[in-house]
Amino acid sequence: MLQRSESSPMSLRLLSDRQAALLAEERRTLAAVREALERFGASDEDRAILNRAIEQLDDFFLLVVVGEFNAGKSAFINVLIGQDVLEEGVTPTTAQITVLRYGETMAQDGPGNGVVTVRAPAELLREVHLVDTPGTNAVVPEHQTITERFVPRADLVLFLTSVDRPFTESERAFLTLIRDWGKKIIVVLNKIDILEREEEIGRVIDFVEESAERLVGIKPPVFPVSLRLARRGRREDAAVWEASRFAPLEGFLRETLEDRERVRLKLSSPLGVGGRLADTLLGQVRERLGLLGDDLTLLEDVDRQLAVYREDMTRDFRFRIADIDNLLLGMEQRGHAFFDETLRVGRVFDLLNRSRTQEAFKREVVADTPEQIERRVSTLIDWLVDADFRQWTAVNQHLHERRRQHAERIVGGSEQFHHDRARLIDGVGRQVQRVVDTYDRTREAATIADKARDSVAAAAALQVAAAGLGAVVTIAATTAAADITGIVLAGVLAAVGLFVIPGRRHRAKQEMRQKITLLREQLSRALHQQFETEIQTSVVRVEESIAPYSRFVRAERTKLADAQQTLDVLLGSMNALRAQIEDVP
């Protein structure tokens, strides 16, 4: 059994100046890690693990024994301290964490919080606490969970396996967990007494070393022992004790638990825990940044679509308004031809018949121009409404695809982050979907038509009376329900150029050109203003619908970029500290 020598382990409180400085720096670094975990959304469990690791700096050295049930963990501890303190058996005998501490007499406390404390008068326990754990492949799943949660608190892990079943699947998984927490591992290979030849033992050792190296990246110390023989040899049977091969393991532990090495392990252990937690959170941060990067790409794509939508609509509108403009230019050309034909001396008697001239002007010049303009404006409004609907549909498809990708890519991490993000994506998606589902094109067209009627009618209310023998164009506004623009061009030029003599033809053409030009400008300006208003309204509605989602993405991206930088710096600091701790003489 392990005896306390002259160079027995010393309390962690008795540190060299260099060790004390490293301890102070470690406390500051771990405090910064704790703040980062809280600030950037680590789970309550992870924060509790770090708090325990920090508290562990002030506690006794914790040597944790793990392995499958029936691997001999309890027997190993009994041999190590030289007393039969723990119950042994072929069935699972440890259902909770058992911590062995020093006591003048045998005593047991608990269980409290799943931990039983056993006190025993063993010299080793004066400076080191031993921990017996439930089996890693325990029949009761909660037993393995208890063990997994205790591993971060370990300063040194003794991993028990056996030659008859070395490195089972559950042992591989558990060794990976220990590695992830940055713990130093010693592998104890039990039951070598069932092998008859040294070559067989050597092959098993090689297998365990190679398997462990593949899992943890380094080759851990492997000690083959027979706990059955060690128990017998403890009773002063030197030959059996030597055959158990327990002495080399005991000597290694004695060296490991000397002051310098024990302090090194004690200081390194919380940094391993902090590094694991920071690295895990950093992975979650990067995963979230990836999600938000895709979200930002979607939002930028929507912004580009809206910009292209505005450009395309503006370009197409110019063609459509030019079509309406051409109708008025055509009417002007017909008016000039009418004046050439009518305002001449040969038609002077026809000019005396005012009503006939007016009817001829309406029939030949005005013709169906009002109806054509009405149809063009109606078509323009339908085009505007359809484009608005297509824009909403495109945004809805983007959000639907994003919701599908979100459901596929959630890989864990902060539940609050994923909840908030999913809530916003779903909420915005439902809002856009409602717009698409309830989009009433007839109602939208009527609304735009009403606005166009008011705007165009106000712009085109030109009242110019006939004067003398001049040609006059009268523009009248109407509120007839069937007249979308509010302009009845059949009456616009109803009173035109009566009793005109050939000498006044040029003046008549000039006045008509002026009035038609003014009408074109007024109508174009009014339609342009209404078009700009509707396009802006369409774009703003889309932008406002996705604004909460956009704000969340941009705010979280800024926060997570800060988290990534902070965690990278902290991981670098912890790695540097671990290197300094290893170099302390």
Output the pLDDT for position 423: 58
Q: Which of 434, 387, 418, 432 is nearest to 295 (CA)?
A: 418
- Asked if residue 175 and residue 124 are part of one domain, the reply reads yes
Decide if 204 contacts 195 (C-beta within 8 A).
Answer: yes
* 174/305 same-domain check: no
Q: Nearest Cα to 262, choosing from 254, 250, 274?
A: 254
d(CA 208, CA 193): 17
How far apart, in whole angstroms, are the C-alpha atoms of residue 132 and residue 154? 11
Picking from 257, 280, 299, the residue at the C-terminal end of a domain is: 257
Q: Residue 178 is part of a domain; what is its CATH number? A: 3.40.50.300
Residue 353 clears pLDDT 50, i.e. is over it: yes
Residues 380 and 301 in one domain: yes
Structural domain contains residue 583: no
Least confident of 36-40, 67-71, 429-433, 466-470: 466-470
As a whole number, mean pLDDT of residues 456-472 equals 33
- Per-residue b or e along 435-447, where b marks 16 or more CB atoms closer than 10 Å to that residue's CB: beeeeeeeebbee
Residue carrying structure tokens 């704000």: 551
Residue 30: pLDDT over 90: yes
By percentage, how much of the chain surpasses pLDDT 70?
73
Among 238, 257, 276, the domain-final residue is 257
Q: Are both 101 and 238 inside the same structural domain?
A: yes
Identify the band that residue 570 occupies on the pLDDT scale cut at 50, 70 and 90. very high
For residue 476, give the amino acid letter. Answer: A
Sheet holding 61-67, edge to edge: 107-112, 115-120, 97-102, 128-132, 61-67, 156-162, 185-190, 222-224
Question: 237 and 293 share a domain?
Answer: no
More confident residue, 414 or 209: 209
Question: Which pLDDT score is estimated for 137?
Answer: 66
Q: Would you say residue 581 lies in a domain?
A: no
Could you give phi then psi for residue 227, rounded to 5 degrees? -70, -30
What torsion, rounded to 10 degrees, do the Cα atoms 80, 85, 88, 93 define? -120
Nearest to 190 by CA among 168, 220, 159, 214: 159
Whether 272 is covered by a domain: the verdict is no
7 domain residue, yes or no: no
Residues 6+ apart with CB under 8 A from 251: none
Closest CA to 205 of 167, 172, 150: 167
515 and 399 within one domain: yes
Q: Using DSSP, state whether 386 is helix, strand or coil.
A: helix
Residue 229 resides in a domain: yes
Domain co-membership, 212 together with 314: no
User: 110: alpha, beta or left, given left = phi > 0 and alpha = psi -120 to 50?
Assistant: left
Span 272-326, pLDDT tens digits = 999 999 999 999 899 888 888 888 888 888 888 888 888 888 888 788 778 878 8
- Say yes or no: 374 and 232 in one domain: no
Tell whether 249 and 293 lie within a shared domain: no
Total domain count for the chain? 2
Burial string for 496-509 (b: 16+ CB within 10 Å, else e) reads bbbebeeebbebbb
Structural domain range at position 150: 59-257
Sequence-distant contacts of 170-176: CB under 8 A, at least 24 apart: 170/68, 170/136, 170/137, 171/67, 171/68, 171/136, 171/137, 172/211, 172/215, 173/136, 174/66, 174/136, 174/147, 174/148, 175/212, 175/215, 175/216, 176/215, 176/216
How do residues 93-105 score in pLDDT, each as one tens digit? 556 788 899 888 8
Asked whether residue 251 falls in the same domain as residue 363, the answer is no
Give residue-wise pLDDT tens across range 363-410: 887 777 777 877 777 777 777 777 777 777 777 777 767 666 655 444
Is 499 within a domain? Answer: yes
Q: In this structure, which amino acid lies at residue 269? A: S
Phi, psi of 224 (to 5 degrees): -80, 130
Once rounded to an integer, what is the mean pLDDT over residues 45-56?
89
Structure tokens at 1: 């059994």
In the prediction, which pLDDT does 457 show? 44
The answer to whether residues 188 and 223 touch, using CB atoms and an 8 Å cutoff, is yes
pLDDT at position 561 over 90:
yes
Pair (373, 462) in one structural domain? yes
Dihedral over Cα of 517, 487, 468, 499: its sign: positive
- Residue 228: closest CA among 127, 79, 90: 79
> What pTM was computed for the model?
0.66
Answer yes or no: is 30 within a domain. Answer: no
Distance separating alpha carbons of residues 494 and 364, to the nearest angstrom: 12
What's residue 503's pLDDT?
53
Per DSSP, the three-state class of 472 is coil
Going by the DSSP 8-state scheme, the letter that residue 102 receives in this structure is E
In angstroms, the Cα distances linking 73 to 44, 66, 220, 502 are: 31, 7, 19, 124
Lowest mean pLDDT among 181-185, 251-255, 466-470: 466-470
Q: In this structure, is residue 570 part of a structural domain? A: no
Q: Are residues 299 and 231 in the same domain?
A: no
